[in-house]
Amino acid sequence: MAAAIEIKKLKKYFGKVKAVDGISFNVDKGEILGFLGPNGAGKSTTIKCLMDFERPTEGKIVVAGLDSQADSVAIKEKVGFISGDIKLYDKWTGNDHIEFIEKIRGKSKIAHELCKKFEYNPKIKVKNLSSGNKQKLGLILALMSEPKILVLDEPTVGLDPLLQNSFYEVLEDFKRKGTTIFMSSHNLAEVEKICDRVAIIKTGKLVAVETIENIGEKKMHLVNAYFDEKPKKIDFGRDVEVLKREDNELLLKIKGDLNPVIKVLSAMKLRDLEVTHATLEEVFLEFYGRK
């Protein structure tokens, strides 16, 4: 499949700080690729270089067959973009922003629909908006011209879970129409839900490009089990680590499928059970910590 975005040996140094250090990967046409990593890993710097807001120290980026530096203006005409640090005009309403984009890119067929989908009132001035509503407006401005490529830096920051799901539905609809979507995130559950593949960055280095199926195999959960009596010592297998065993409590870290462990626990005199996702940082330490 042809690439919509090609990142080739990209480096961006700020003095001695190697924010991005020689990364290469492609985003295929029509796919949703998640750019995953902890805060400070180099995600936003990579996106700034892609959009030509920062010039690379070395390397090259090609977007829709165009050079990110030589063809910067042409790329911006083709790409819908939202920054991780969105800037809006305080004295303008949402409608003012929407009309401004329409003067540049033409009348939008979906702006009103997006406002309704995101439960956003475009009549309010930006200075009176909450951070979540500013994020909604930023998303609407990125999506309203129905671009063939979307570049989204932490797009769901500040959105409540219901609106996050509405946003995911919109992205799925764009994907069905052939749009290429490149979105950064530090939320493992988010990229699992929406993305086809994931490029994983850590301290400026690309440590993996994974399919979502492979990411799923690296899932980790923490399970707190409470019993009516002291639990027996049980060998749960190599994918289960016993973090704590005292009195009537058992704390387990489980890689992969939960079901076999839950089945064993349910056969015991179980009083209560708590299951939580391991954090992205814990997954990184487990699977990518030595890379």
Which of these three, 169, 190, 211, is where a domain ends? Answer: 211
Which of these three, 185, 211, 237, is where a domain ends? Answer: 211
Name the β-bridge partners of 206: 201
Same domain membership, residue 180 and residue 142: yes
Same domain membership, residue 142 and residue 15: yes
Count of domains observed in the chain: 2
Same domain membership, residue 229 and residue 114: no
Same domain membership, residue 259 and residue 149: no
Instruction: Give SS3 for 139.
Output: helix
Phi-psi region for residue 64, left (φ > 0), alpha (ψ -120 to 50) or beta?
A: left
Q: Report the length, in residues, of the chain.
A: 291
Same domain membership, residue 143 and residue 38: yes
Q: What is the pTM of this model?
A: 0.82
Residue 283 is part of a domain; what is its CATH number? 3.30.70
Judge whether residue 91 has pLDDT over 90: yes
Same domain membership, residue 225 and residue 204: no
The pLDDT tens digits of the residues spanning 47-76 come to 999 999 999 999 999 999 999 999 999 999
Same domain membership, residue 201 and residue 71: yes
Residue 28 is part of a domain; what is its CATH number? 3.40.50.300
Same domain membership, residue 228 and residue 128: no
Same domain membership, residue 77 and residue 96: yes
Judge whether residue 291 has pLDDT over 60: no
Report the distance separating Cα 76 and Cα 149, nearest Å: 10
Interstrand relation of 240-246 and 249-255 (parallel, antiparallel or unpaired): antiparallel
Per-residue confidence at 290, pLDDT binned at 50, 70, 90? Answer: low
Residue 179: give the domain boundaries: 3-211
Same domain membership, residue 104 and residue 59: yes
The pLDDT tens digits of the residues spanning 208-236 come to 898 888 776 777 888 998 988 887 788 78
Judge whether residue 186 has pLDDT over 60: yes
Same domain membership, residue 235 and residue 189: no
pLDDT at site 184: 95
Same domain membership, residue 203 and residue 242: no
